[in-house]
């Protein structure tokens, strides 16, 4: 007996294309936005930013009739080169743009914006794993309350001024949810009943913590950071800018977006009298799980 099957009726069965594209997931862009913006300190030309140190002086006992000896300190400086130039470019043929039901150029403009923002966050995250002296936590493990208390102490021991900032991986953030100080409004001061915020954990130990999927490290290792003031900073010489031109012979759009910037970690001048050294005093590496 003949039957109408999916094969014989193929010409009668329509197909439907989605009205929306299956866009790639996007991680939270958090880290670079947390850095202090020193862009205005480097207006106009130049590619190197110099940060000279100024240390404290020594106090000596003055003896009668004896002249004091002037103190001379040979100071040092930190140099930061703003030279990261990144670009995202596409060529889109007019034929494809006309024939496609999707706004191809608009879609890849959005993709380019995310790619550049992500690159800034990745560059910023690379700096988080750069303090071997002031480190708390253990790689592959959730962080403890004692870890955060020790991090706070490191910053206060070196006169770091609160409020502090902190960023950790989602896995570390999940571990913090088990610590009541991070979720109870009696501790974090959240009187609106929202103990947890988007990409943000309540303020504990004078630090506002955020979560990022882009913390440095390959799972199960992750390194976040807790810092004070301008310990991390950025200089944006050219904000992301898109340029486009249409080639009449190739009948295609060429679209390119680029940025020029630098992200940096400074070292603080030591407090001791007549010292001439600098060290990473206002930052604490937070090692944990990813």
Choosing among 3.30.540.10, 3.40.50.300, 3.90.1690.10, 3.40.50.720, the CATH entry for 31-36+79-266+280-289 is: 3.90.1690.10
Residue 82's pLDDT band (cuts 50, 70, 90): very high
Residues 255, 93: contact at Cβ < 8 Å?
no
pLDDT, one tens digit per residue, over 30-53 is 999 999 999 999 988 899 999 999
Convert the pLDDT of each residue in 216-234 to its tens digit: 999 999 999 999 999 999 9
Helix (H/G/I), strand (E/B), else coil: 140:
coil
In this predicted structure, what is the pLDDT of residue 3? 79
Whether the Cβ atoms of residue 128 and residue 285 lie closer than 8 Å to each other: yes
- Encode pLDDT of 163-197 as tens digits: 999 999 999 988 887 877 776 654 555 555 554 45
Is residue 266 pLDDT above 70, yes or no? yes
- Cα–Cα dist 204/241, whole Å: 38
CA atoms within 13 Å, Cβ hemisphere of 63: 3
pLDDT of residue 189: 57
Residue 159 has pLDDT above 80, yes or no: yes
Is 122 exposed, middle or buried, given 0-12, 13-18 or 19+ CB atoms closer than 10 A? middle
Q: What is the mean pLDDT of residues 2-23?
A: 85
pLDDT of residue 187: 55
pLDDT in tens, 100-110: 888 888 899 99
Alpha helical stretches, state H, 158-213 = 170-176, 185-188
Q: What are the structural domain ranges in the chain?
A: 31-36+79-266+280-289
Reduce the DSSP state of residue 11 to 3 states and report it: helix
> Span 123-142, mean pLDDT?
94
Q: What token pair was written down for 261?
A: 């910037």
| Averaged pLDDT for residues 53-65 | 94
Query: What is the predicted pLDDT for the residue at 11?
Result: 84
Residues shown for the chain: 290
- Cβ 149 vs Cβ 166: under 8 Å: no
Alpha-helical regions (H) of 178-268: 185-188
Backbone angles phi, psi at 177, to 5 degrees: -65, -20
Asked if 125 contacts 212 with a C-beta cutoff of 8 angstroms, the reply is yes
Share of the chain above pLDDT 70, in %: 92
Q: What is the pLDDT of residue 88?
A: 96
199 pLDDT tier (thresholds 50, 70, 90): very low
Checking if the pLDDT of 198 tops 50, the result is no
Q: What is the mean pLDDT of the chain?
A: 90
The encoded tokens of residue 286 equal 């937070």
Query: How far apart are the C-alpha atoms of 13 and 227, rounded to whole Å?
Result: 61
Q: Is 105 helix (H, G, I), strand (E, B) or coil?
A: helix
Mean pLDDT of 151-174: 95
Is pLDDT of 203 > 90? no
pLDDT at 190: 57
pLDDT score of 1 more than 70: no
Cβ atoms 215, 169 nearer than 8 A: yes
pLDDT of 126 over the 80 cut:
yes
User: For residue 210, is it left (φ>0), alpha (ψ between -120 and 50) or beta?
Assistant: beta
pLDDT value, residue 7: 83
> Cα–Cα distances in Å, from 88 out to 4, 121, 194, 259?
52, 16, 39, 9
What is the C-alpha to C-alpha distance for residues 168 and 176, in angstroms, rounded to an integer? 10
Q: How many CB atoms lie within 10 A of CB 284?
A: 31
Per-residue CA distances from 42 to 66, 172, 237, 264 (Å):
46, 36, 8, 14
Q: Cis bond leading into 3, ω under 30°?
A: no
Q: How confident is the model at residue 204 (pLDDT cuts 50, 70, 90)?
A: confident
């Amino acid at each position: 007996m003949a039957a109408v099957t999916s094969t014989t009726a193929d010409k009668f069965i329509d197909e439907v294309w989605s009205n929306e594209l299956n866009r790639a997931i996007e991680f939270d862009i958090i880290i670079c936005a947390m850095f202090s913006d020193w862009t205005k300190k480097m207006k106009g030309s130049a590619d190197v930013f110099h940060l000279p140190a100024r240390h404290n002086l020594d106090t000596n006992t003055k003896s009668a009739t004896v002249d004091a000896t002037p103190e001379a300190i040979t100071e040092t400086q930190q140099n930061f080169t703003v030279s990261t130039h990144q670009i995202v470019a596409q060529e889109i043929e007019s034929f494809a743009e006309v024939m496609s039901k999707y706004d191809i150029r608009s879609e890849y403009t959005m993709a380019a914006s995310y790619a550049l923002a992500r690159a800034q966050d990745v560059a910023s995250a690379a700096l988080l794993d750069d303090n071997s002296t002031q480190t708390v936590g253990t790689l592959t493990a959730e962080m403890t309350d004692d870890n955060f208390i020790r991090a706070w102490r490191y910053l206060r021991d070196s006169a770091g001024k609160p409020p502090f900032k902190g960023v950790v991986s989602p896995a570390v953030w999940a571990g913090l949810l088990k610590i009541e100080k991070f979720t109870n409004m009696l501790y974090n001061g959240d009187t609106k009943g929202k103990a947890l915020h988007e990409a943000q954990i309540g303020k504990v130990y004078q630090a506002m913590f955020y979560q990022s999927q882009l913390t440095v490290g390959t799972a199960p290792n992750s390194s976040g950071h807790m810092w004070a003031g301008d310990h991390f900073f950025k200089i944006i010489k050219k904000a992301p800018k898109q340029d486009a031109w249409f080639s009449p012979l190739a009948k295609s759009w060429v679209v390119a977006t680029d940025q020029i910037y630098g992200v940096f970690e400074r070292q603080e001048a030591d407090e001791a009298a007549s010292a001439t050294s600098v060290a990473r005093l206002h930052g604490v590496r937070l090692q944990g799980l990813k």
